[in-house]
Amino acid sequence: MSDKQLGFIGVGVMGRPMARRLLEQGHALVIFDKDPAALAELAGLGARVADSVREVADSAEVIFTSLPSPAIFKAVALGQGGIVEGAAVRILVDLSTVGSRAEQEVAAGLLKRGIETVDAPVSGGAAGAARGALAIMVAGDPEAVARVRSLFDVFGKVFIVGEQAGQGQLLKLLNNMLSTTAFAITSEAYAAGIKGGLDPQVMMEVINAGSGKNGATLDKFPKHVLPGSYDFGFPVSSVCKDIGLAVEECQALGVPMWLGNAARQLWNVAAQQDGGERDLTELVRTIEGWSNR
């Protein structure tokens, strides 16, 4: 599909590096975002900037979306002037994390207009998006998935997880809940170790050689906490959104979420106290502040 123009709506923290990789691989791209500053870099690389969502949907058969919330996703897809009204679009590939219920609602609404939805949330953060090292969890009609399958290789490793829109969302939320819960408990252990006089570097080395290792100890702490950069590239507010959606979906499936709810509460309190715009790795600072009271 490299000879056809692709659409991309939502070129923020995650969308911009993914769109950039498509451009670098020679794909023609028409883009839209409400933030003009988000468009400048991609325009400089040859992307055509549309004036509206509808213009993108009138120009491209395949549209990618990377949007921050279920409400925004539904408005972009099904609202007035949305993707649903487009003359050209035939497949929506949603890279957002919006939950299975929003994904299913949008998929049903678009299908009435003959537009297929490929549910394809990604994991790996902005750094992974820039490197093309994301995990992409793909679900949808097999024929629609086959039509866009080769495009995913630009972003990272593809996992076909189901044939129904929403199944990719469920797996992504479960993954994010595990990741952010691991970071939270690791932050508590780290704060305790520091107060007990342990060397932080040695502490991580020992944990990673033992049974306590996890994604936080293997990646986020060595790369973003110990150097003091706190720059993983994912805000606390997005953690709160994702873990909230995850807990709600699990509870809707009848799974009691004792630990999930505890982690959700911790992240929400941290956001309320110190601000949701901070990088998620700064949770360590919040917990250290609580520990020193």
Q: Tell me the pTM.
A: 0.91
pLDDT (tens digit per residue) in 15-25: 999 999 999 99
Query: What would the two tokens of residue 107 be?
Result: 């998929």
pLDDT digit string (tens) for the chain, length 293 residues: 445 899 999 999 899 999 999 999 999 999 999 999 899 999 999 999 999 999 999 999 999 999 999 999 999 999 999 999 999 999 999 999 999 999 999 999 999 999 999 999 999 888 899 999 999 999 999 999 999 999 999 999 999 999 999 999 999 999 999 999 999 999 999 999 999 999 999 999 999 999 999 999 999 999 999 999 999 988 999 999 999 999 999 999 999 999 999 999 999 999 999 999 999 999 999 999 999 85
User: Which CATH number is associated with domain 6-165?
Assistant: 3.40.50.720
172 is known as an active-site residue: yes
CA distance 91 to 61: 6
Q: Which CATH architecture has domain 170-291?
A: Orthogonal Bundle (1.10)
Hey, where are the domains in the chain?
6-165, 170-291
| Residues in the chain, total | 293
Tell me the CA distances in angstroms from 213 to 14, 88, 204, 216, 219, one per residue in order.
27, 48, 8, 8, 10
CA distance 94 to 100: 12
Catalytic pick among 172, 213, 223, 241: 172
What does the angle CA 256 – CA 210 – CA 127 come to, to the nearest 5 degrees? 70
